[in-house]
């Protein structure tokens, strides 16, 4: 199972992105990363690392792993948490990045007050582009799940298997990656107390 942790800064991402994508797409992604960094500010991942690293990991998953090229999907991957986790509004996001990107981000944003399981279940009706955003996001989140407390690992594993793995089925690269991830984690989680 490939782990995607090579792009921890824009400087590390820029070269591989330039080799894989048109220059206009790379410029748009650079702008999206700058915007996301400003919006997320000092926010950190559960591991204590800067939040922008998660966004770049998800982008690395999409480009270096799944070989995605759609600029709207890639931009939405970088911006996927700005509506849910920052003060950014849909209007501001649409003004900066367009209606298509905003629509994809909206699909993966859990509405306030909605149960997480209900939100994840609703993604079964999402457009394929929005599903790709969520799949890349979750690969970044689960690829190093062992860094977190075992109770979180167990809950997140079951949530991923129940809601995310089925979304990956029509997308061969993601389906294979999640299957490689699931097998060892199934054994590991089975050893945890109930």
Contacts of 2 (CB under 8 A, 6+ apart): 65, 177
Mean pLDDT confidence for 2-15: 96
- Looking at residue 194, its pLDDT comes to 81
Encoded tokens for 68:
């995605």
Task: Give the confidence band of 101 by pLDDT, cuts at 50, 70, 90.
Answer: very high
Query: Comparing C-alpha atoms, which of 118, 121, 116 is closest to residue 156?
Result: 116
- Looking at residue 106, its pLDDT comes to 97
CA–CA distance, 130 with 123 (Å, rounded to integer) = 8
179 is catalytic: no
Give burial (CB, 10 Å; 0-12/13-18/19+) of 116.
Answer: exposed
Catalytic residue among 70, 84, 100, 144: 84
pLDDT in tens, 16-65: 999 999 999 999 999 999 999 999 999 998 888 899 999 999 999 999 99
- Is 107's pLDDT higher than 90? yes
CATH 3.90.1170.40 fits 10-190, yes or no: no
CA–CA distance, 174 with 4 (Å, rounded to integer) = 13
- Looking at residue 47, its pLDDT comes to 80
Between CA 100 and CA 138, with CA 109 as vertex, the angle to 5 degrees is 100
Mean pLDDT confidence for 96-103: 98
The full set of domain ranges for the chain reads 10-190
Encoded tokens for 97:
């990045």
- Is 4's pLDDT higher than 90? yes
Contact of 168 with 135, CB cutoff 8 Å: yes
Task: Give the confidence band of 69 by pLDDT, cuts at 50, 70, 90.
Answer: very high
């Amino acid at each position: 199972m490939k782990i995607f942790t090579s792009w921890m800064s824009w400087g590390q991402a820029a070269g591989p992105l330039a080799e894989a994508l048109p220059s206009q797409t790379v410029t748009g992604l650079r702008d999206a990363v700058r915007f996301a960094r400003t919006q997320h500010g000092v926010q950190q991942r559960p591991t204590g690392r800067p939040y922008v690293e998660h966004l770049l990991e998800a982008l690395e998953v999409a480009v270096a792993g799944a070989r995605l090229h759609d600029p709207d999907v890639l931009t939405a991957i970088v911006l996927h948490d700005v509506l849910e986790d920052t003060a950014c509004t849909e209007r501001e996001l649409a003004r900066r990045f367009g209606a298509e990107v905003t629509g994809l981000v909206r699909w993966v944003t859990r509405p306030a007050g909605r149960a997480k399981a209900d939100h994840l279940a609703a993604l079964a009706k999402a457009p394929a582009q929005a599903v790709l955003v969520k799949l890349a996001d979750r690969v970044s989140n689960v690829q190093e799940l062992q860094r977190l407390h075992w109770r979180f690992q167990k809950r997140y594993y079951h949530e991923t298997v129940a809601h995310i793995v089925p979304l990956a089925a029509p997308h061969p690269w993601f389906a294979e990656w999640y299957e490689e991830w699931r097998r060892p984690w199934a054994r590991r989680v089975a050893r945890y107390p109930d």
